[in-house]
Amino acid sequence: MFDPVTLGALALRNRIVMSPMTRSRAGAGDVPTQLHAEYYRQRATAGLIVTEGIQPSPAGKGYCRTPGLYSAAQTEGWRRVAAAVHGEGGLVVAQLMHCGRVASRVNKNDGSDVVAPSAIRADGKIFTDVSGPVAMEMPRALHTHEVRFVVEEYRQAALNARAAGMDGVELHASSGYLPMQFLSSNTNMRTDRYGGSVENRIRFVMETLQAMGEAIGFDRVGMRVCPGLDYNDIDDANPAETYGLLLQEASALGLAYLHLVRRSFPLVDNFTLTKAHWRGRLILNNELTPKSAAAAIADSSADAASFGRHFIANPDLVYRIRQEVALSDYDRARVYTQGPQGYTDYKPANPA
Ligand SMILES: Cc1cc2nc3c(=O)[nH]c(=O)nc-3n(C[C@H](O)[C@H](O)[C@H](O)COP(=O)(O)O)c2cc1C
């Protein structure tokens, strides 16, 4: 875990990656603040930080207080984050998260549409500051001619990430958000070139990766998937087929890495599937311990290992793993609250 590794253009000093985590602390205009810079600076001894999910456009926002990467002020905010992480010798990529139908209009600042591949409501509730949990909204199906505008939003956000000095981007294609809504058979009823056959259902993701890669270099673009996941009312009839083809086609692009949330489902063991179809660097995630992560890297199951929850209360996770210092537990009540409490006030084990 402490050996360097190269993921495309990203030269990591160790193989411990900070997994993307939404923390709902964006300021006015969905701008990352000085607090974000401090939070990520504290965790910058990771070989690579993947930021919280960031909306590439106002329509991409689903939750409250998530940051964006489309306005000049947001880009400036991320510039402070990148500078803080680089100042500690770390690397940071922006996770681009378009929530699609997993959204409430209440959480959007400008009243922009809730859009999705098809007009099928996600069964479930989403938290809002104004009214607490509310039912997710019936989305409007994107017109065929609009899809390329959404792809363009991702392309521009990738360019903004680089303009902000960030090292790359990660396409969030998991957790039931827009890319996964295109991929999955229960959320994509389209009859145009973006729906129906598996070739058509993967098209949106492929076009988005293509657009971002052409803009900033494929070796600075990663993708996160969890084939088989049913979160946010996803139910793909054949995830092995869907992701088998997606991973084959994406392998040919020469991306920096694939970030796999490893899980086994009745329809698919997604690690076995990934090993069969993905050719490229692999970051492995999900419920890893220092021990299981080290084992995964040692036996070549993965090139790097990502930790989510452990990074919340252990900003110096790399030091603690190396020194075998006990890991602290995080304050569940303050994960999505505002301000520094439960965010930047976790102390390193060795303050020096
Ligand atoms: C508070 C919190 C927020 C999360 N937000 C995101 C997110 O924005 N994007 C994403 O891809 N995954 C998100 N995840 C999932 C984590 O990246 C990770 O996959 C998950 O926590 C499992 O890893 P772990 O067992 O090391 O925590 C989030 C998880 C937590 C706990």
> Roughly how many angstroms between the first and final C-alpha of the chain, as a whole number?
23
- Quote the pLDDT of residue 265: 98
Q: Which atom of ligand 1 is nearest to the CA of 52?
A: 8
Q: Which atom of ligand 1 is nearest to the CA of 287?
A: 25
Neighbouring CB atoms inside 10 A of 210's CB total: 16
- Going 139 to 232 to 328 to 1, the CA torsion angle's sign is negative
Question: Is 231 part of the annotated catalytic residue set?
Answer: no
- Quote the pLDDT of residue 31: 98
- Quote the pLDDT of residue 351: 65
> Which tokens hold the place of 257?
């890495």
Neighbouring CB atoms inside 10 A of 123's CB total: 9
Q: Decide if pLDDT at 295 tops 70.
A: yes
- Quote the pLDDT of residue 352: 58
Domain ranges of the chain: 5-11+51-305
What's the 66 CA to ligand 1 centre distance in angstroms?
Answer: 14
DSSP assignments along 83-133, one per residue: HHHHHTT--EEEEE---TTS--GGG-SS----EESSS---SSEEEETTTEE
Q: If pLDDT is split at 50, 70 and 90, which confidence band does 329 have?
A: very high
Q: Decide if pLDDT at 309 tops 90.
A: yes
Q: Decide if pLDDT at 18 tops 70.
A: yes
The stretch 103-130 carries a mean pLDDT of 93
Helix axes 270-277, 239-251, angle to 10 degrees: 30
Residue corresponding to tokens 């439960």: 342
- Quote the pLDDT of residue 100: 98
Residue corresponding to tokens 């075998």: 324
Mutating to test ligand 1, I would choose from 1, 22, 61, 174 the residue with most ligand atoms within 8 A of its C-beta, which is 22
**Backbone angle region of 176, left / alpha / beta, with phi > 0 → left and psi within -120 to 50 → alpha:** left
Strands (E), the chain: 5-7, 10-12, 16-18, 48-54, 92-96, 115-116, 125-128, 132-135, 140-141, 168-172, 221-225, 257-261, 282-285, 304-307
Average pLDDT score over the chain: 97
Cβ contact 240:267 at 8 Å: yes
The stretch 236-240 carries a mean pLDDT of 98
- Quote the pLDDT of residue 305: 98
pTM of the model: 0.98
Q: Which atom of ligand 1 is nearest to the CA of 285?
A: 23
For ligand 1, atom 20: residue with the closest CA: 308
Cβ contact 102:177 at 8 Å: yes
- Going 94 to 98 to 104 to 108, the CA torsion angle's sign is positive
Give the C-alpha separation, 89 to 145, whole Å: 43
169, β-bridge pairs = 94, 221
The stretch 303-310 carries a mean pLDDT of 98
- Quote the pLDDT of residue 350: 77
- Quote the pLDDT of residue 131: 92
Q: Decide if pLDDT at 51 tops 70.
A: yes
Question: Which fold, 5-11+51-305?
Answer: TIM Barrel (3.20.20)
Which tops the pLDDT comparison, 273 or 130?
A: 273
Mutating to test ligand 1, I would choose from 17, 18, 21, 61 the residue with most ligand atoms within 8 A of its C-beta, which is 21
User: For residue 24, which of 69, 61, 73 has the smallest C-alpha distance?
Assistant: 61
Which tops the pLDDT comparison, 249 or 352?
A: 249
Neighbouring CB atoms inside 10 A of 21's CB total: 15
Give the C-alpha separation, 278 to 342, whole Å: 37
For ligand 1, atom 2: residue with the closest CA: 21
Among residues 177, 194, 343, 346, the one annotated as catalytic is 177
Ligand 1-lining residues (CB < 6 angstroms): 19-22, 52-53, 95, 97, 172, 174-175, 224, 261, 285-288, 307-310, 335
> Which tokens hold the place of 21?
């985590």
Q: Decide if pLDDT at 317 tops 90.
A: yes
